[in-house]
C-alpha cells in the first residue's frame, strides 16, 4: 500500500474546548470482530466498527480469504463467514498498510490453515518486528519466510493440522497472545498461552462470545489462557464501544486547555485498557464517568473532562500494559504538569509505528519542553499549566499517535506547532480533525 501524499498541518492555540463528541469504535475490538465473524458459519453483524485504514485492511484480507463482508447504508457491517478451517487461498499478497495488529493476528489465522499467504505493508510496518509472532507460530508447524530481521514482506505457509503448544509470552503483547490463540482455533487439542503480565483481553472475551471453548485461570507464572481447537464459532451481533486510545487525546486536550469542558461519549473502559484514566487522575485530572453501562460485553461510560491543574508523578510501572498506546498522549499531559513526570516501564514503545520514545522526545524538545530519555520511557519537566513555547515543525514519522499527540500539544502553545504529515491519522481516527473543529480547535492545512 503506497503511503498517501503528506498532509502538513499547523495547529493554533485554542481559547477553550467545549461540547460533546463521540470517538470511533475501538480498533482492537473492530479487528477481532471482523476476523472471528469471518470464521463463524452464518451472518454476523457489527455496529460501530472503526472505519479507519487499519481495520479496512483486515476487512480486505478476510474477503481475500473467502468471507463476504459488506457495509450497509445503516452503517452496520454484515459478515458471512467461512467457518474455522474454511479459509481460502488468497490470490494476491495481503496488503496490511500500516496495521501491525492486522498482520500479527492474521498470521496466526493462516498458520493453522492449509493455505499460503504473503503479507506486505508500508514503510513503517515493514520496519516493525515480526519475530515475536514467527517463533510461536513456527513451533506450531507453520513455515514462515521473512525478510531480514524477521520483517515484512513475509510468507506464511500454514500447517493443517497444526501442533498445539504451551507458550509463555517473552514480551508483554496482546498481539502475540492473540495470534497464538487464533492459530489454536483450528488446531486439534488444547493450545495454551501463559501471560506473566496481563494485557488487553478483547480476544478472550470475544472468542468466548463466539462460542469457542476458552478458559482463563491464574497460575504460578501468570494468567493461563487455554483454547480448545477445531472450534465451531456461532455468528454474533457486536456493538463496538468507543476506542479509549482515541478518547485519550481529547481527555488530555480538555485537561490542559483552560476553561475546557468536554463530554466524550461511549468510551470503552475495559480494565486492561483504562490505564491512562488512572494515570491522569493521579496527576489531578477531572474525569467523571457518566452513565456507566455494559455494551457488547465491555464496560462503557461517557467521560466528562474539565480543565484541571496537573502535578508531575512517577507513573506506576504496572499501568504500562493497560495504556501502552496512550503514552504519546500522556507525554503531552506531562508537558503541562507542575514539576517532573517520570513515565517508564514502556519498552514496547520502541517498536510501535515509530520509536515513540525517541520521536516524542524530539517533538516535545523542538517545542521547548525539557525531557530526559530513558530506554523505557521519558521524564518530562512540565510548565505548571502555562503554554509550552511551541513554534517548531515536528515529524510524525508515519505514526498516527505522534501526529495526534502533537496536535493536542499545539492547542496550548504560545506559538503554532506544525506537523509535517498528518495523513497517518486516518489509519485509526478519520474524523479526528472534524471533532477538533466541533470542540472549537483550529488548524491550517498546507
Q: Is 151 annotated as a binding residue?
A: no
**The whole model's pTM is what?**
0.89
Segments forming the whole domain that contains residue 266: 9-25+241-445
Same domain, 258 and 227: no
What whole-number percentage of the chain has pLDDT above 90?
Answer: 94
For residues 130 and 205, state if they share a domain. yes
To the question of whether residue 72 is assigned a binding role by annotation, the answer is no
Whether residue 102 sits in one domain with residue 113 = yes
- Predicted pLDDT of residue 3: 59
pLDDT digits (tens, 9 = 90+) for 34-84: 999 999 999 999 999 999 999 999 999 999 999 999 999 999 999 999 999
Q: What's the Cα-to-Cα distance from 29 to each of 296, 406, 432, rounded to whole Å?
A: 10, 26, 19
Q: In this structure, are 19 and 32 located in the same domain? A: no
Domain boundary among the residues 238, 257, 274 is at 238
Using DSSP's 3-state secondary structure scheme, residue 1 falls into coil
Residue where a domain stops, chosen among 238, 273, 308: 238
Number of separate domains in the chain? 2
Among the candidates 238, 264, 285, a domain finishes at: 238
Same domain, 278 and 414: yes
264 preceded by a cis bond (ω within 30 of 0): no
Q: Is 22 annotated as a binding residue?
A: no
For residue 3, being part of any structural domain is answered with no
Tell me, yes or no, whether 213 and 314 share the same domain.
Answer: no
Same domain, 229 and 283: no
Q: Are 153 and 278 part of one and the same domain? A: no
For residues 234 and 350, membership in a common domain is answered with no
**Average pLDDT of the chain?**
96
Same structural domain, 100 and 247: no
Q: Are 269 and 301 in contact (CB under 8 A)?
A: yes
Q: Active-site positions?
A: 325
Residue 164 contacts residue 141 (beta carbons within 8 Å): no
CA angle 432, 298, 350 (to 5 degrees): 55
Please determine, for residue 265, whether its predicted confidence score (pLDDT) is greater than 60: yes
Same domain assignment for residues 136 and 278: no
Is residue 2 included in any domain, yes or no?
no
423 labeled binding residue = no
Residue 30: φ, ψ to 5°: -60, -50
Under the banding of pLDDT at 50, 70 and 90, the label for residue 353 is: confident
Nearest 5°: the CA angle 52, 56, 59 is 150
Amino acid at each position: 500500500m503506497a503511503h498517501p501524499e503528506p498532509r502538513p498541518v499547523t495547529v493554533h492555540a485554542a481559547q477553550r474546548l467545549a461540547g460533546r463528541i463521540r470517538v470511533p469504535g475501538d480498533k482492537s475490538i473492530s479487528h477481532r470482530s471482523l476476523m472471528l465473524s469471518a470464521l463463524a458459519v452464518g451472518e454476523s453483524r457489527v455496529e460501530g466498527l472503526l472505519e479507519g485504514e487499519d481495520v479496512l485492511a483486515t476487512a480486505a484480507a478476510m474477503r481475500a480469504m473467502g468471507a463476504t463482508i459488506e457495509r450497509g447504508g445503516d452503517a452496520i457491517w454484515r459478515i458471512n463467514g467461512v467457518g474455522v478451517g474454511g479459509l481460502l487461498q488468497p490470490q494476491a499478497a495481503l496488503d496490511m498498510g500500516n496495521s501491525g495488529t492486522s498482520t500479527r493476528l492474521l498470521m496466526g489465522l493462516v498458520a493453522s490453515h492449509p493455505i499460503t499467504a504473503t503479507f506486505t505493508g508500508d514503510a513503517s510496518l515493514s520496519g516493525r518486528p515480526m519475530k515475536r509472532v514467527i517463533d510461536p507460530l513456527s513451533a506450531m508447524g507453520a513455515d514462515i519466510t521473512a525478510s531480514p530481521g524477521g520483517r515484512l514482506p513475509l510468507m506464511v505457509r500454514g500447517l493443517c493440522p497444526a501442533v498445539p503448544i504451551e507458550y509463555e509470552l517473552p514480551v508483554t503483547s496482546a498481539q502475540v497472545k492473540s495470534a497464538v490463540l487464533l492459530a489454536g482455533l483450528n488446531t486439534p487439542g488444547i493450545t495454551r498461552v501463559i501471560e506473566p503480565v496481563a494485557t488487553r483481553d478483547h480476544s478472550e472475551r470475544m472468542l468466548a462470545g463466539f462460542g469457542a471453548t476458552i478458559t482463563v485461570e491464574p497460575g504460578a507464572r501468570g494468567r493461563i489462557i487455554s483454547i480448545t481447537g477445531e472450534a465451531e464459532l456461532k455468528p454474533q451481533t457486536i456493538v463496538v464501544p468507543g476506542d479509549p486510545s482515541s478518547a485519550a487525546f481529547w481527555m488530555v486536550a480538555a485537561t490542559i486547555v483552560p476553561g475546557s469542558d468536554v463530554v466524550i461519549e461511549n468510551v470503552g473502559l475495559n480494565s486492561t485498557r483504562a490505564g491512562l484514566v488512572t494515570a491522569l487522575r493521579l496527576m489531578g485530572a477531572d474525569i467523571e464517568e457518566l452513565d456507566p453501562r455494559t455494551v457488547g460485553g465491555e464496560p462503557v461510560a461517557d467521560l466528562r473532562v474539565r480543565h484541571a491543574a496537573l502535578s508531575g508523578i512517577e507513573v506506576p510501572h504496572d499501568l504500562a500494559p493497560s495504556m501502552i498506546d496512550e503514552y504519546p498522549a500522556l507525554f503531552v499531559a506531562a508537558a503541562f504538569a507542575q514539576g517532573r513526570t517520570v513515565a517508564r516501564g514502556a519498552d514496547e514503545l520502541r517498536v510501535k509505528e515509530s520509536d515513540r520514545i525517541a520521536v516524542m522526545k524530539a517533538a516535545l524538545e523542538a517545542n521547548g519542553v525539557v525531557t530526559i530519555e530513558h530506554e523505557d520511557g521519558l521524564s518530562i519537566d512540565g510548565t505548571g499549566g502555562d503554554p509550552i513555547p511551541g513554534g517548531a515543525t515536528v515529524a510524525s514519522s508515519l505514526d498516527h499517535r505522534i501526529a495526534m499527540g502533537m496536535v493536542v500539544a499545539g492547542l496550548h502553545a504560545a506559538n503554532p506547532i506544525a506537523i509535517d504529515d498528518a495523513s497517518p491519522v486516518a489509519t485509526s481516527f478519520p474524523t479526528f480533525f472534524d471533532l477538533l473543529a466541533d470542540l472549537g480547535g483550529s488548524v491550517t492545512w498546507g
